[in-house]
């Protein structure tokens, strides 16, 4: 069962709009999709999108020719995916309730498994290990697992960007992030912008967790890199240039908001 604070955060209903400003995609969305396009096999193929939210990436992937099955613990999100599939007549888009730690109901042999959310909401390393092992189990030999983490330093940088580091509610949240990676927002109803229960990775930890789960040929990418500090839609080209230029630069990896791990199941076990 998902943590009640996480459920309360998503009950606020911001998830379907968070990646867009005035209908325009934000840097996180553009870069996530660009990295997926680069690392997913060519369609057709079957993708399991674990923690796929409201289907924000599942929809464009179905439009590219994949079949995408979303697994989501938040019922509201499952309904939104199903409704979107119906409205857009996307036969390749399906969804069911579920948790990254138990994919026993999911058909094995997927060409790709996405974990673009569960790893940062699972605050115990043992739970993250189970989620990665489950993804590895249901992907086909040679298939790809894509997992996203939030950087340990994301809210420190966000606080600078929004000039709220001296906010008495915000400061202890950031201090806890820095001390332990354990992000908690005791004010989820009144200050939803401070997110909810999560674990914020150091870059090398995300890589180690993937390695320990048995993934091979692992690479790590900074989704937004340092560019998210600006996030001015009028300057998007420069932000994309900077994000791409240092996407694999270890010295800057922690400056991103989101980290993306790409790893594979060995072609033969
Ligand atoms: C910030 S949203 C990300 C949604 C989408 N994948 C994206 O990248 O924009 C995180 C998602 O992870 C889901 N989630 C949280 N805990 C999970 C778990 N244990 N198993 C699967 N999904 C989980 C949440 O319900 C939520 O939809």
Residue 191 CA to ligand 1 centre (angstroms): 20
What interhelical angle do 4-11 and 75-87 show, nearest 10? 40
Query: Which residue in the block uniquely carries the two structure tokens 């290990």?
Result: 129
Using CA atoms, how far apart are residues 165 and 37, in angstroms rounded to an integer? 36
Give a yes or no: residue 80 inside a domain.
Answer: yes
In sequence order, the β-bridge partners of residue 199 are 182
Nearest CA to ligand 1 atom 10: 117
The reported pLDDT for the residue numbered 259 is: 98
Task: Render pLDDT for 176-195 as a digit per residue (tens, 0 to 9).
Answer: 999 999 999 999 888 999 99
Helix (H) or strand (E) holding 218: strand 216-222
- Say if strands 67-72 and 139-151 run parallel, antiparallel, or are unpaired: unpaired
The whole-model pTM stands at 0.97
CATH code of the domain covering residue 114: 3.40.50.150
- Quote the CA–CA distance of 195 and 188 in Å, as a whole number: 7
- Pairing outcome for strands 182-183 and 110-115: unpaired
Question: pLDDT for 15-28, tens place per residue?
Answer: 888 899 888 999 99
Could you give the C-alpha distances from 167 to 4, 5, 182, 228, in angstroms and in order? 25, 22, 19, 21
Cα 217–chain centre separation = 20
In a domain, 187, yes or no: no
Confidence (pLDDT) at 228: 96
% the chain with pLDDT above 70: 100
Q: In this predicted model, what pLDDT tens digit does every residue of 194-209 receive, in sequence order?
A: 999 999 999 999 999 9
Range of the domain at 19: 4-151+202-264
Which residue's entry shows tokens 């590219």? 64
How much is the average pLDDT of 139-158?
A: 98
Nearest residue to 149 (alpha-carbon basis) of 261, 18, 71, 22: 261
d(CA 81, CA 85): 6
Q: How far is the CA of 48 from the centre of ligand 1 (A)?
A: 13
Asked if 72 contacts 98 with a C-beta cutoff of 8 angstroms, the reply is: yes
> Exposed (0-12), middle (13-18) or buried (19+): which is 49, by Cβ within 10 Å?
buried
Is 178 within a domain? Answer: no
H or E, element range at 215:
none
In-domain check, residue 142: yes
What's the CA gap between 59 and 56, in Å, rounded? 6
Cβ atoms of residues 176 and 182 within 8 Å: yes
Atom of ligand 1 nearest to the CA of 100: 20
Name the least confident of 41-50, 67-76, 231-240: 231-240
Specify if 157 maps to a domain. no
Alpha-carbon torsion angle 71, 73, 74, 75, nearest 10: 70
Closest CA to 78 of 95, 93, 57, 62: 95
Residues with CB under 6 A from ligand 1: 2, 6, 10, 15, 50-53, 56, 72-74, 77, 99-100, 116-118, 121-122
Instruction: Say how many Å lie between the CA of residue 249 and the centre of ligand 1.
Output: 27
Q: What is the mean pLDDT of the chain?
A: 96
Residue 123 is assigned to a structural domain of this protein: yes
> What six digits make up the tokens of 113?
């498994």
Centre of ligand 1 from the C-alpha of residue 16, in Å: 12
**pLDDT at position 269, please?**
66
Which residues make Cβ contacts (< 8 Å) with residue 182, sequence separation at least 6? 123, 176, 199, 200
Q: How confident is the model at residue 143 (pLDDT cuts 50, 70, 90)?
A: very high
Distance between CA atoms of 52 and 49, rounded to whole angstroms?
Answer: 5
Our count of domains for the chain comes to: 1
* Ligand 1 atom closest to residue 32's alpha carbon, by position in its atom list: 8
Is 189 contained in some domain? no
Assess if residue 248 is contained within a domain.
yes
């Amino acid at each position: 069962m998902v943590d009640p604070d996480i459920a309360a955060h998503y009950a606020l209903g911001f998830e379907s709009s968070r990646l867009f400003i005035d209908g325009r995609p934000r840097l996180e969305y553009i870069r996530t999709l660009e990295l997926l396009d680069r690392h997913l096999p060519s369609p057709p193929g079957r993708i399991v999108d674990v923690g796929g939210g409201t289907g924000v990436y599942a929809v464009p992937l179905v439009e590219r020719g994949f079949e995408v099955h979303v697994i989501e613990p938040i019922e509201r999100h499952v309904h939104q995916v199903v409704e979107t599939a119906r409205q857009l007549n996307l036969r390749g888009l399906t969804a069911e309730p579920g948790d990254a730690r138990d994919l026993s109901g999911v058909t094995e042999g997927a060409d790709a498994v996405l974990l673009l959310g569960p790893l940062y909401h699972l605050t115990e390393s043992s739970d993250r290990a189970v989620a990665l092992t489950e993804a590895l189990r249901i992907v086909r030999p040679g298939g790809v697992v894509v997992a996203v983490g939030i950087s340990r330093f994301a809210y420190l940088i966000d606080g600078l960007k929004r000039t709220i580091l001296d906010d008495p509610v915000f400061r202890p949240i950031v201090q806890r992030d820095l001390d332990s990676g354990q992000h908690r927002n005791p004010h989820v109803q009144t200050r939803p912008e401070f997110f909810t229960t999560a674990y914020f990775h150091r870059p090398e930890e995300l890589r180690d967790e993937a390695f320990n789960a048995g993934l091979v040929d692992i690479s790590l990418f900074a989704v937004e890199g340092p560019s998210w500090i600006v996030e001015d839609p009028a300057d998007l080209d420069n932000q994309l240039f900077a994000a791409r230029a240092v996407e694999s630069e270890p010295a800057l990896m922690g400056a991103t908001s989101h980290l993306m791990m790409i790893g594979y199941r060995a072609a033969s076990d």
